[in-house]
Amino acid sequence: MSTIATRMPAFFFGHGSPMNALEDNRYTAAWEQLGASAAQLQPRAILSVSAHWYTRGTGVTAMAQPKTIHDFGGFPQALFDVRYPAPGDPQLAAQVRDLLAPVAVAMDQSWGLDHGTWSVLVKAFPKADVPVIQLSIDATQPAQFHFDLGRKLAVLREQGVLIIGSGDVVHNLRLMSRSQAAPGYDWAQRFNDHIRASLVSGDMQSLIDYADQGQDAQLSVPTPEHYLPLLYVAGAKQDDETISIAVDGIDIGSISMLTAVVGAV
């Protein structure tokens, strides 16, 4: 009987526009490379925390065949035609529920895989042959709570589970530029640089206390759902590990594409 001897890495994807699922660019190339490297470690499942499942309370997808959710509008039909038919993993969902106790975790049968998850996995794991479950983000809880859940989930990495978070360090659609080539706003660049430095140096408290960055944080994180997935991935870091940056950049002035890697790939 074989045993899993390799600790899985953990990834935070700055997912940007859903159109990245159809396009080829330097960000999607980095996701493809990360996925190919992780696939060699033969993950038994993927646990995803997506910005787009933002709920009251915590839930985990517990169905055997999660649907592909197209939770957006105004994009080409080709994007709505994308399906990501990865199986679910009800047994892992139950394990997550037990790990996170005493936090109550609902075993969800109605959600599925939203674009925060599938738009990156269609590049990183295009065969859709690794089971995927999603964990929702409790909108009622502070940053420390989400980091602490990541800490509790870290043990899964020793059991063949790849933990991913999908969001954007900077996400302000109201102030986005109409030009794809627009440089990042000064405040967006400063905040992104601060979070990047905190990741690389392992300054977890600075990541949790992101709001201490004042107006830069207020503009970069006007609502927290795109930032919080990062805290789950940071929380899953072990003391003997480092965090590296796979790719970085700011699109349309106010969307960070920073992708971070916890551990070795």
CA distances from 79 to 15, 85, 228 (A): 15, 15, 26
Q: Whole-model pTM?
A: 0.95
At residue 3, does pLDDT exceed 60?
A: no
Residue-level pLDDT at 4 = 45
Nearest to 190 by CA among 209, 208, 214, 173: 214
At residue 179, does pLDDT exceed 80?
A: no
Within 10 A of 166 (CB to CB), how many other CB atoms are there? 28
- Residue 20 pLDDT class (50, 70, 90 cuts): very high
- Residue 51 pLDDT class (50, 70, 90 cuts): very high
Which tokens go with 211? 């709001």
Of residues 148 and 5, which shows the higher confidence score?
148
What integer is the mean pLDDT of 32-56? 97
Nearest to 30 by CA among 128, 120, 134: 120
User: What is the rounded CA–CA span in Å between residue 256 and residue 249?
Assistant: 6
- Residue 2 pLDDT class (50, 70, 90 cuts): very low
Compute the chain's Rg from CA coordinates: 17
At residue 1, does pLDDT exceed 50?
A: no
Strand blocks (E) in the chain: 10-14, 45-55, 58-61, 105-108, 132-138, 161-167, 243-247, 250-251, 255-256, 259-262
Of residues 19 and 265, which shows the higher confidence score?
19
- β-bridge mates for residue 108, sequence order: 61
Helix 228-235 vs helix 143-153: angle between axes, to the nearest 10 degrees?
40
Within 10 A of 15 (CB to CB), how many other CB atoms are there? 29
Q: Which residue has the tokens 């480092």?
A: 242
